[in-house]
Amino acid sequence: MEHSVDLLQNLTIVLGVAAITCLVFHRLRQPVVLGYLLAGVLIGPHVPFPLVADGNTIHTLSELGVIMLMFSLGLEFSLRKLVKILPTAGIVALIQCSLMLWFGYLAGQAFGWTALESVYAGAIIAISSTTIIVKAFSEEGVKGALSHLVFAVLIVEDLIAVVLLAVLPPFSRGETLSGWMLAQTAAMLFLFLLLLLVVGLLILPRFIRWVLSLKRPEITLLVCVGLAFGISLLAKEMGYSVALGAFLAGSLLAESGEGESLEHAIAPVRDIFAAVFFVSVGMLIEPRVLAAHWGAVLVFTLLVIFGKILSVSFGAFFAGNSTRLSIQSGMSLAQIGEFSFIIAGVGLASGGTRDFLYPIAVSVSAITTLTTPLFIRRSDSVAKWVDRNLPGPLQTFTSLYATWIQRLRRTRPEGKNSALRRLLGLILMDSVLLVAIIIGTSLSLDELQLRLNQWTGLPELWCRLSIVGVSLLLGAPFVIGLIRLSRAIGLRLAIQALPLREDGKLDLAATPRKAMVVSLQVVSLLLVGTPILTLTSPFLPFYFEGTFWGLLLVGIGISFWRSANDLQGHVKAGAEMLLETLEASIDHGKTKALPHAEQILPGIGVIHSFLLDGNSPALEQTLSELNLRALSGACVLAITRKNGGIVAPTGDEVLHEGDLLALSGTEEALESAKQLLLSPTPPSH
């Protein structure tokens, strides 16, 4: 009976203080998650406050919150949705998470933390917060392409977080790492997931559809919660986290196609236990620890903000999105949240980290939660500023790259798919073998050194250098193979989008094709290199891999800059030829496609002419003031007016009535440009 009274007392304190702080933060138009964290600080043992909840009891209840949160996230995930979003969102999430894992690891090593603590630090800052972004987007009224891209990236990030939660705990038990242990851990995880998914997909979707057919909400709720807890317990018994089990339970039920109905049924229970979870997180914040580690809080906050903005922006752009949308996505995802708390909690509970890392993660999350709404509001103006100040060759490239990716997606010749799959298989095999050589050499270096010393009698230093040298020789062919294969993939995709001329005439698409090859090679190396960098960093000196991949990307960057300059010259030369076609296209219509323009300037997307009449909102504005490229993604190639044509106009060019503009870009970009040039209402984001 005494235990029941204590439980009731603790729940009263937690939910009562949480309700008050959430009301305050709601009135202040701040995310309620911050209210939960503040409630935890107020009732925790580290501040002099009359209300103190029992930490052990609240921690136990918070486990239920983790299960319900992860189960709810799983309901939003399905294999069909993953297949649909993976070609674009997967690129963004893989580049972003890999880079942030690496940045976090380097920062942890710089602070003198253990290798495992540094790995956890990278994992903590790698995953953005779905809860915070949903709230911020709702308050800012963000819809359309930006919300679709951001939430697609979040789905893939959540999947990556689940993989981290599955992989990290086995390495947190203090066992000595070895190649056999790595292989055994991977095999056990694979078998567990395979068995659970196969059995679950055969039974659970059909079962939950039958439960829903009963039309009894209380039965649906009990079945969902029971399955979530049951599979979470199974995962824990197998040595994995309850978060992994809960997510898998939700994703299995989502395959029934009734994920939205199930999420609505469990929402009240989820919200209550999620509140307890976030309050328990706040209870672990110790001001004394934060004061001792304020430098780490500052560094990791800056890493989250600038690292995520840059990595997401580059990833989104290379996935085929406009510069504006890419930068907006990067600034929207510059925060961490619930997954960071869960990963930090797993590290603390499994003994992989000391107690200082958890409050650091919470503090970084609280700061970036406050900055997220500001970044979302400022993202559009920042994107316009960046686009306006890009060098000329980059402006031309960014305007045309999306058109190449659009053509690539629409062009799928059957005969070349097998060759492309073979190249992808080879690059995957080279990557796996390179990682195996690096990790295997690192884990076996001491043993190999001892055996070589006993066999040859050479000094220990010479033995070590010899082993490292042999490993470098073994790995070099795979590195060279990755570089060559990435170029081969880029060339094949570029030819697929911009076919070669087979009639022996001048190939006018050669210059844009070259720029496309180099850019796709950069994408391939980022997609391959960043995971390799992340996986092998704990086994190599922190400066070695970063220096190598940095020099490699610098070399390719120089080649890219040259091709971008050539591309700009190609566009200017073609625009002069385009003027004659443009003058002949003037008629009584306001817009008109130029069907022969693709023959004059192959590789620059769809080209339309726009005639500015007396009602156009763009009249008497400079191109810089109109900021057409940043707002729409379309590029002005040429302008025809009464006193002569203008090729590749600058930002200072003033638009007048009767001007005929030739614009290139994707179909979506041209439609947005049409709204800006011919309608008084600008397009919404």
pLDDT attached to residue 396: 78
Q: How far apart are CA 655 and CA 673, in angstroms?
A: 14
Considering 567, 599, 621, which residue would you say is the last residue of a domain?
567
Considering 324, 359, 389, which residue would you say is the last residue of a domain?
389
> Does the residue 142 lie in any domain?
yes
pLDDT category of residue 145 using cuts at 50, 70 and 90 = confident
pLDDT category of residue 125 using cuts at 50, 70 and 90 = very high
> Does the residue 399 lie in any domain?
no
Judge if 554 and 611 occupy the same domain: no
Mean pLDDT, range 41-65, rounded to an integer? 73
- Which helix (DSSP H) or strand (DSSP E) does residue 449 occupy? helix 417-456
**Residue keyed to tokens 């976030």:** 278
Judge contact between 447 and 463, C-beta under 8 A.
no
pLDDT attached to residue 659: 80
Give the number of domains in the chain.
3
Which tens digits make up the pLDDT trace of 210-236?
Answer: 888 888 888 888 888 888 888 888 888
Judge if 672 and 526 occupy the same domain: no
SS3 readout for 376-414: HHHHHHHHHHHHHHCCHHHHHHHHHHHHHHHHHHHCCCH
Mean pLDDT, range 316-328, rounded to an integer? 87
**Beta strand extents in 263-368 (DSSP E only):** none
Q: How far apart are CA 498 and CA 411, in angstroms?
A: 10
pLDDT attached to residue 174: 55
Which tens digits make up the pLDDT trace of 614-639?
Answer: 778 878 888 777 777 777 777 787 78
For helices 130-140 and 357-389, the axis angle rounded to 10 degrees is 40
Res 304 pLDDT > 90:
yes
Judge if 376 and 437 occupy the same domain: no
Which tens digits make up the pLDDT trace of 372-422?
Answer: 888 988 888 888 888 877 887 887 788 788 888 877 877 765 555 678 888
Q: 164-198: string of b/e by CB count within 10 Å (b at 16+)? A: bbbbbbbbbeeeebeeeebeebeeebeebbeebee
Res 3 pLDDT > 60:
no
> Does the residue 263 lie in any domain?
yes
Judge if 256 and 149 occupy the same domain: yes
The percentage of residues in the chain with a pLDDT greater than 90, rounded to a whole number, is 6
Q: What is the pTM of this model?
A: 0.81
pLDDT attached to residue 395: 79
Judge if 431 and 479 occupy the same domain: yes
End-to-end CA distance of the chain: give it in Å, rounded.
Answer: 57
Q: How far apart are CA 442 and CA 446, in angstroms?
A: 8
The percentage of residues in the chain with a pLDDT greater than 70, rounded to a whole number, is 85
Judge if 513 and 378 occupy the same domain: no
| 389 Cβ contact list (under 8 Å, min separation 6) | none
- Which helix (DSSP H) or strand (DSSP E) does residue 661 occupy? strand 660-665
pLDDT attached to residue 633: 76
Q: How far apart are CA 341 and CA 335, in angstroms?
A: 13
pLDDT attached to residue 367: 87
pLDDT attached to residue 5: 57
On average, the pLDDT of the chain sits at 79
Judge if 161 and 226 occupy the same domain: yes
| 265 Cβ contact list (under 8 Å, min separation 6) | 217, 220, 221, 224
pLDDT category of residue 100 using cuts at 50, 70 and 90 = very high
Q: Give the domain range for residue 612.
A: 585-678
Judge if 486 and 604 occupy the same domain: no
Judge if 198 and 50 occupy the same domain: yes
| Residue 320 token pair | 């085929």
Judge if 275 and 221 occupy the same domain: yes
| 485 Cβ contact list (under 8 Å, min separation 6) | 423, 426, 427, 430, 524
pLDDT attached to residue 685: 46
pLDDT attached to residue 546: 67
Higher pLDDT, 330 or 563: 330
pLDDT attached to residue 68: 83
CATH code where residue 124 lies: 1.20.1530.20
Higher pLDDT, 206 or 614: 206
Judge if 195 and 122 occupy the same domain: yes
CATH code where residue 653 lies: 3.30.70.1450
> Does the residue 395 lie in any domain?
no
Res 494 pLDDT > 60:
yes
Judge if 546 and 447 occupy the same domain: yes
> Does the residue 139 lie in any domain?
yes
Mean pLDDT, range 493-502, rounded to an integer? 80
Judge contact between 603 and 509, C-beta under 8 A.
yes
Considering 389, 422, 444, which residue would you say is the last residue of a domain?
389
Higher pLDDT, 178 or 61: 61
